[in-house]
Amino acid sequence: MTIRAGLVGVTGYTGMELARLLAAHPAIKLVCATSRTDAGKKLGELYPFLQGFELAETEIIQPEPELLAACCDLVFLAVPHGAAMEMAGKLRAKGLKVVDLSADFRLRDAATYAEWYGQAHNEPDCLAEAVYGLPELYAERIRTAKLVANPGCYPTASILGLYPALKNRLIHCEDLVIDAKSGTSGAGRKAAVGSLFCEVHDSFKPYGMPRHRHTPEIEQELTRLVAEPGLTPHVTDQGHKPLAGEALTVSFNPHLLPLTRGILASIYTRLRPGVDEAQIRAAYAEAYAGQCFVRLLPAGKLPELRNVRGTMFCDIALVPDFRTGRLLIFSAIDNLCRGASGQALANANLMCGLPLELGLEAAPIVP
């Protein structure tokens, strides 16, 4: 059976990446793509790299919920925050499954969303319904979900890196520092001076300090992991109090790399007394056993962004530094695939009863 998919917001980098991945997907067919500015064109006109694929003949239409409901089973929303929530509400009212790539449904508390995104959340029913779409943690809930909030790119790398250490109480829950670097595609496709080639090339800078919008998303999900000892995330629900009755806090510090794709998160934590390297590696091996897209690197090996480019892989390296009492965690992903469109497609696979990895098994693009 073919699942008919729609894509709202095809002109951005995440829309472009989704079109690339869906061009060869064996079960999910992109039958409808939308753009207000490019309506009436064929997808192949917009993206010449699709020439030779059936997808190239897909006509771009206006983003009208009625049109999408008439031809789609599932819709991807690749539009900015604020715009997604209204569209998601209308699509859910018509019975469609939705995967939202914006931030509109990632934060479970409407007040927190308003604080960090500067606007009220006007779809509280959808907010309550949404499932956070990190497959390694919430696969069972995603399978039955009608609305999935696709995680941010930085949170994906950070949460996957920290999850086993927090779950197994290997590290302290305070003094967590995430030093993360991203390629410029993370800033989107809009014209902006800060992401021009001449501004980014041969340079390196921090940005978004000290209140990057991905911070509360990371803190929310990590707090859930430590909410109650012994509970795994997929059975932990809203309302549980974290350890000591306080929300977990992280120092999240993003930087802009002079390259197109990739995120490398260097995470600094404090080891609990008595924890040894064998315990650390065993905890990570157990946590990600059977998870096809998380690769735990051998001792002595460190991740490189080129080894995950264009893929769903998250490469994790563990470096215990017993001299300073720290566990250093390095987590590398492709921000457009694993951090956005590929993860959205993996979530759609689960929602439609398909294998998680279907259509996403490609090896990295090297050199």
Q: What is the domain partition of the chain in residue ranges?
A: 3-129, 154-335
Share of the chain above pLDDT 70, in %: 95
The predicted model gives 223-234 an average pLDDT of: 62
Q: Does position 230 have pLDDT exceeding 60, yes or no?
A: no
Please state which CATH number belongs to domain 154-335: 3.30.360.10
Closest CA to 189 of 7, 9, 11: 11
Nearest alpha-carbon partner for 150 in 337, 364, 357: 337
Quickly state the pLDDT bin for 186 (edges 50, 70, 90): confident
For residue 113, what are its two tokens? Answer: 């969303």
Average pLDDT for 188-204: 85
Which pTM was predicted?
A: 0.93
d(CA 113, CA 96): 24
Q: How far is CA 201 from the centre of its chain?
A: 26
**Predicted local distance difference test score (pLDDT) of residue 287:** 97
Query: pLDDT tens digits, residue range 310-342?
Result: 999 999 999 999 999 999 999 999 999 999 999
**What pLDDT was estimated at residue 233?**
43
Whether 3-129 shares its CATH topology with 154-335 is answered no
The class of domain 3-129 in CATH terms is alpha beta
Pairing state of beta strands 147-149 and 60-61?
unpaired
C-alpha span between 102 and 238 (Å, rounded): 21
pLDDT exceeds cutoff 50 at 242 = no
Which one of the listed residues 32, 72, 126, 153 is annotated catalytic? 153
Does the active-site annotation cover 32?
Answer: no
Residue predicted with more confidence, 238 or 8:
8
R_g over Cα of the chain: 20
Q: Looking at the predicted structure, is the pLDDT value of residue 243 above 90?
A: no
CA-nearest of 16, 263, 234, 242 to 134 is 234
Q: What is the pLDDT of residue 246?
A: 55
In the predicted structure, residue 190 carries a pLDDT above the cut 90: no
Residue 225: which pLDDT band, with cuts at 50, 70 and 90?
confident
Q: Residues 25-84: pLDDT tens digits?
A: 999 999 999 999 999 999 999 999 999 999 999 989 999 999 999 999 999 999 999 999
pLDDT digit string, tens, across residues 98-119: 999 999 999 999 999 999 999 9
pLDDT at site 163: 96
Q: Which pLDDT score is estimated for 1? A: 80
**pLDDT tens string 125-136:** 999 999 999 999
Q: Which of 354, 256, 261, 268 is nearest to 313 (CA)?
A: 261
Percent of the chain past pLDDT 90, that is, above it, reads 86
